[in-house]
């Protein structure tokens, strides 16, 4: 821009010098010179306007460049932030994958625990079945034992009844013995009376003593 202005000044100076050196030129030459000077001035004006327009265009271009640079900086920052977000996303994905691996491992261990629990349940069910069978067999044994107890009680009742009847018989027998002993004594006394009292008196006395002693005991 400064270079263009300097060029226009030089042109004006040259025109002034030409007017100063040619005072005796013809009117036609002066008219032509004035016309050329007007054209030069117009050209200079157009040049200045073009330079000003170019300067404005350059300013606009610089402004656009600055805005584009700012946009590029923002874009780079966005890309960096996006890159950080992508890094965080990948880190989260890796952590999520690790969490998923741990979850799968936990599920597998839980599945093994569930399998062991089902196995224990089946074993307990088998044990319960065996216990029920044992209880049933024990119940049968208890029923047989009760049946035996009842039979033994019946046998004991029969034995007690037999003992009672035997005791009654024994009581009757004991009741009959003094009577039989008295009958025997009377019989012996009758036999003794038929014999000589003198020869049989010691024997009679002995029998009486024994009979008397036996009657006292009875």
> Domain segments of the chain: what residues?
178-217
Query: pLDDT tens digits for 118-146?
Result: 999 999 999 999 999 988 888 888 889 88
For position 10, what pLDDT does the model report? 57
Q: 6 or 46: whose pLDDT is higher?
A: 46
Confidence of residue 5 (pLDDT cuts 50, 70, 90): low
Rounded Cα distance between 103 and 71, Å, is 45
Cβ 218 vs Cβ 177: under 8 Å: yes
For position 53, what pLDDT does the model report? 84
Q: 73 or 11: whose pLDDT is higher?
A: 73
pLDDT, average across residues 174-188: 74
Confidence of residue 2 (pLDDT cuts 50, 70, 90): low
For position 184, what pLDDT does the model report? 74
pLDDT, average across residues 161-182: 79
Query: pLDDT tens digits for 80-103?
Result: 888 888 889 889 988 988 988 898
Q: Please name which of 3, 97, 8 lies closest in space to residue 44, comparing C-alpha atoms.
A: 8
| Cβ neighbours, 10 Å, residue 15 | 16
Confidence of residue 201 (pLDDT cuts 50, 70, 90): low
In the numeric block, which tokens belong to residue 164?
A: 């009672």
């Amino acid at each position: 821009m400064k270079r263009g202005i300097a060029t226009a000044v030089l042109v004006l100076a040259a025109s002034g010098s030409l007017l100063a050196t040619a005072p005796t030129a013809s009117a036609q030459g002066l008219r032509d010179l004035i016309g050329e000077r007007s054209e030069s001035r117009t050209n200079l004006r157009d040049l200045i306007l073009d330079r000003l327009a170019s300067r404005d265009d350059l300013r606009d271009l610089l402004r656009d460049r600055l805005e584009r640079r700012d946009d590029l900086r923002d874009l780079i920052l966005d890309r960096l932030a996006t890159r950080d977000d992508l890094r965080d996303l990948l880190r989260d994905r890796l952590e999520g994958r690790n969490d998923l691996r741990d979850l799968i491992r936990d599920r597998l261990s839980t599945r093994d625990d569930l399998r062991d629990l089902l196995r224990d349940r089946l074993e307990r069910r088998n044990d319960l079945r065996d216990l029920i069978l044992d209880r049933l067999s024990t119940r049968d044994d208890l029923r047989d034992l009760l049946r035996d107890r009842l039979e033994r009680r019946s046998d004991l009742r029969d034995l007690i009844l037999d003992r009672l009847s035997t005791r009654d018989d024994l009581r009757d027998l004991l009741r009959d013995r003094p009577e039989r002993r008295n009958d025997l004594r009377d019989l012996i006394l009758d036999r003794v009376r038929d014999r000589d009292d003198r020869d049989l008196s010691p024997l009679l006395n002995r029998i009486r003593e024994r009979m008397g002693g036996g009657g006292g005991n009875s």
